[in-house]
């Protein structure tokens, strides 16, 4: 069941430095609150013994309106998840 949708310009940077290795300063005011929140939720799922899958989709940007795609996807999972904030 999908729980969260996010987009980024640089997947390696976003995933490795954004979610995988969070500096404590990012969890304070003016930090990366989303990264801390999603990291915490993933950790909680794993600690409950649940399996967490990550899915990635690459868009070249030429034929896809990413903002509309994101909004549509979040609405589709919205009834099942509160991980995204809209």
Reported as a single tens digit per residue, the pLDDT across 7-60 is 777 888 777 776 777 777 777 777 777 778 888 888 899 999 999 888 888 777
Residue 61's pLDDT is: 63
Residue 78's pLDDT is: 64
CA distance 58 to 53: 17
The single-letter DSSP state of residue 60 is: -
Is the full-model pTM beyond 0.75? Answer: no
* CA separation, residue 68 to residues 9, 18, 52, 71 (Å): 16, 23, 26, 5
Q: What backbone phi and psi angles, to 5 degrees, belong to 66?
A: -60, -35
């Amino acid at each position: 069941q999908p729980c969260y949708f996010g987009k980024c310009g640089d997947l390696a940077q976003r995933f490795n430095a954004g979610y995988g290795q969070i500096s404590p300063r990012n969890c304070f005011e003016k930090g990366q609150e989303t990264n801390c929140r999603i990291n915490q939720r993933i950790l909680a799922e794993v600690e409950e013994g649940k399996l967490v899958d990550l899915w990635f989709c690459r868009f070249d940007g030429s034929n896809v309106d990413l903002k509309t795609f994101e909004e549509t996807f979040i609405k589709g999972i919205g009834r099942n998840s509160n991980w995204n904030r809209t």
